[in-house]
Structure 1
Amino acid sequence: MTNLQTIGVIGAGQMGNGIAHVSALAGYDVVMTDISEDALKHGMDAIEKNMARQVSREQFSVDEMKAAMGRIKTSTSIKAHENDDLVVEAATEKREVKEQIFRSICEIVPSRTYLATNTSSISITRLASTTDRPEKFIGMHFMNPVPLMKLMEVIRGLATSQATYETAIGFANRLEKTTTNAEDYPAFIVNRILVPMINEAVYTLYEGVGTVESIDTAMRLGANHPMGPLTLADFIGLDTCLSIMQVLHDGLADTKYRPCPLLVKYVEAGWVGRKVGKGFYDYSGDVPVPTR
């Protein structure tokens, strides 16, 4: 736990840049990689913007922000992780992609390096089995947006050692995250409950029970949710929601986890939410407008 100094983050998207953000603020050296310079630039711009917002709220000083930004290095080469003490994978929610990343990273990092995945639904035991160190592999599921959300789900695989678990808890504590232990079953705790609720909201839209706006308003004001489920789906990414529902459906073989056909159609259309400017709402104007 005390030996962690350099944290590797694979993926510069919403989750990856958020993990890099909080790790650098906690005093770690960070190496963030992605497949393109554009992705890395976008990720670094997001970190700078989000840190500046925190400075404006007096959560820390400008000098602390500059120091944290200076601790983050970026690269498009996976070899940049060769001296990392912990590597956190935050790539797209596709098992094949993650498995290939871990196979590649095991050829680069030293034997001391711990490996973690930020997967929101995929089996930790299965991902660990593709590596040369399943005992040093663990699930660290951060919540989005990482700098604001206090929770980290910690998920042990079948082979995860106690030392690896304690290292993960120590890392989370230094990031000032509250941890909850989840068993290694499809979607863990948060998404096992949350994403089927979102899927049911999409069914409610699909069946004409309510409009996009009425469903969101009903859940905001009727259940006191901070945002409606369709707005939340756009924020998470409809492709991610669909992937999680597919993992639940395949892993638990229960028809209650069938992805709504309308959710599938939106993903097929490429309307996957805020990150592309269109999902259940169109974000091209000043005010989001329902697309259905």
Structure 2
Amino acid sequence: MSERELHCIAVVGGGMMGRSIATRVSQAGLGVIVRDISPERTDKVAELLGVDLDREIERWGLTQSEKRAILARIEFTTELPKTAGCDLLIETINEDYDAKRQLLLELDVVLEPGIPIIINTSTLSISELAQGLQHPERVLGMHFLYPVTTTRVVEVVKGQVTSDDAFETARRFVRILGKVPIQEFESPGFITTRVIMPLINEAAHVVMEGVASAGEVDLAIKLGYDFRYGPLEWADRTGLHRILNWLEHLFHETGETKFRPCPVIRKLVRAGHTGARVGKGFSPTTASVAGSTDSPTTPRSSLERSGSDHAARRRELTHESPRPQLWLFLGEVPGHRNLARDDRGQHRRHSCPRRRGEDRPVRLPPVAPRSRP
């Protein structure tokens, strides 16, 4: 079968991921149709896309003429049938099985049989979503890692009935974007999510147990293993609500305790501290990622103390432990309850809570009186 020419790509869903993919596709010289559910949403998507490009211009990563060229190749619509003229379609709606399933049923009718449908997901089963469609062989998965414009790798996931033609078209599309396609068969979490989630979860446990601050954990991993971002900083950039959703799904699918979400992640999400988008999360760089200024009223992090960075760092290197705001948020200060006396007058102290929330007291033996010579 001859290769399908790719001239126009449809992106269904105008969220952060959809905007990023549309931008990268347009930068590669292809036409883009972005579809969202209402005129208000499409207007907002167009506005936010312009803001994203302006931010790149401020960073000297783009010029005004390049911005105009990118926007000229992007068309916005609320009508799903207008995507019928595309050569390949990517859906980027929320990571919700029912919503994606309903969208696939509609696309299966609207699109011509030979047009590949790409599901952007990191945890959902491609074969299960495609089950019962008229043309399930054209459905496959992709996992774009954020930020899409700079991350070089894309996971291309083949379902149980995905055709070789659709799969090769998807891999060629990834190469057109200037990225490296990683060929995979479907499995919960694929490669990247399955590997990175335990790291983020364990880093959250380290912070919760009072071993180190979020900033120190990220610094240790970045410098020690030459990572661009620390695990908690990356979690903030991605969104803690997404991290929690992925962990819960992987725990449900595999039953492995390494994917059981750390309690502090759940508490942060419930409090609305979901990371870069709201300027509150684990990492001290969260506020700057969210586009905040150096104003003293801007929250730097949900978990870091206020005041001078140098003074805070000096206290951490001398005698002060890496606790306060996180422990205030959790309502406890593990490992810092000082000495207390039990009912027999003996000194005791509590150890840091164990991973599953246990808090076992460690009783010190009495000190025998020193005999005089």
Same fold per superposition (TM over 0.5): yes
Matching residue of 1:245: 247
Partner of 2:204: 202
Flag the 1:131–1:207 CA change in 2: closer, same or farther, 3 A. farther
Q: Could you tell me which runs of 5 or more consecutive residues in structure 1 were left unpaired when the two chains were aligned.
A: none
Q: Could you say what secondary structure the match of 1:275 adopts? A: coil
150-159 or 73-82, which deviates more: 73-82
Tell whether the 8 Å contact from 1:102 to 1:130 is kept in structure 2 after alignment: no
Match of 2:157 among 147, 155, 158: 155
* More divergent stretch after superposition (131-140 vs 32-41): 32-41
Task: Summarize the alignment of residues 1-292 of structure 1 with structure 2, pairs less than 5 Å apart.
Answer: 1-51=3-53, 62-129=64-131, 131-281=133-283, 283=287, 286=294, 288-291=300-303, 292=326
Q: Which moved more, 1:35-44 or 1:246-255?
A: 35-44
CA contact (8 A) 1:17 1:43 kept: yes
Q: Distance between the aligned counterparts of 1:89 and 1:168, measured in 2? A: 13
For 2:203 and 2:107, locate their aligned partners in 1 and report how far apart those are by CA, in whole Å: 39
**Displacement, 1:172?**
1.0
Q: Give, in whole Å, the separation in 1 of the partners of 2:151 and 2:238.
A: 14
Q: Percent identity?
A: 33
Matches of 1:60 and 1:263 in 2, distance apart?
36
Q: Does structure 1 conserve the Cα–Cα contact (< 8 Å) formed by 2:14 and 2:34?
A: yes
TM normalised by structure 2 equals 0.71
Give the distance between the partners of 2:216 and 2:60, measured in 1 at CA: 37
Alpha-carbon shift at residue 273 of structure 1 (Å): 1.3
Indicate the larger mover: 86-95 or 211-220. 211-220
Q: Is this contact kept in 1: 2:200–2:231, CA < 8 A? A: yes
Q: Which has the higher contact order (CA 8 A, sep 6+)?
A: 1
Contact 1:213 1:290 in 2 (8 A): no
For the residue of structure 2 that corresponds to 1:274, the secondary structure is coil
Q: Evaluate the alpha carbon distance shift between residue 128 and residue 53 of structure 1 in structure 2; reply closer, same or farther with a 3 A threshold.
A: same
State the partner residue of 2:363: none
Matched-pair contact (CA < 8 Å) for 1:13–1:39: no
**What is the one-letter code of the residue matched to 1:222?**
G
Of structures 1 and 2, the larger Rg is shown by 2
CA distance in 2, matches of 1:198, 1:42: 32
Is there any run of 5+ residues in structure 2 with no aligned partner, and where?
304-325, 327-373
The residue type paired with residue 136 of structure 1 is: R
Deviation by residue 1:249-272 (Cα, 9 ceiling, x = unmatched): 122221221111221222222321
1: CA distance, partners of 2:172 / 2:270:
41
Report the Cα distance in structure 2 between the residues aligned to 1:105 and 1:31, rounded to whole angstroms.
14
Contact 2:273 2:302 in 1 (8 A): no
How many angstroms apart in 1 are the aligned matches of 2:255 and 2:168?
A: 33
8 Å CA contact retained: 2:280, 2:301: no
2:73 maps to a residue whose letter is R
What's the CA shift for 1:96? 2.0
**TM-score normalised per structure 1:** 0.90
Q: Is this contact kept in 2: 1:25–1:65, CA < 8 A? A: no
Per-residue deviation, residues 15-58 of structure 1 (Å, max 9, x unmatched)? 11111111112222211122344543443344434445666777
